[in-house]
């Protein structure tokens, strides 16, 4: 069980990912993080 407030998201990057994939992922994390108040 993960303590409240200690949750994390794990990702794995490989040589098969292109820069566009990483950019899209970061944009998605920012969008969702702002929506849920964990990113300012």
Query: Encoding tokens for residue 25?
Result: 């992922």
pLDDT given at position 5: 84
CA 25 – CA 10 distance, rounded (Å) = 12
| pLDDT at res. 22 | 97
Pairwise CA distance, residues 38 & 22, whole Å: 20
Query: Domain boundaries in the chain?
Result: 8-40
pLDDT digits (tens, 9 = 90+) for 1-40: 899 988 888 999 999 999 999 999 999 999 999 999 989 8
CB 13 within 8 A of CB 22: yes
For the chain, strand residue ranges (E) read: none
- The pLDDT, as a whole number, for residue 7 is 86
pLDDT of residue 34: 96
Choose among 3, 21, 29: nearest CA to 39. 29
């Amino acid at each position: 069980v993960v303590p409240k407030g200690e949750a994390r998201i794990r990702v794995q990057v490989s040589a098969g990912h292109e820069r566009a994939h990483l950019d899209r992922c970061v944009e998605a994390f920012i969008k969702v993080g702002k929506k849920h108040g964990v990113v300012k």
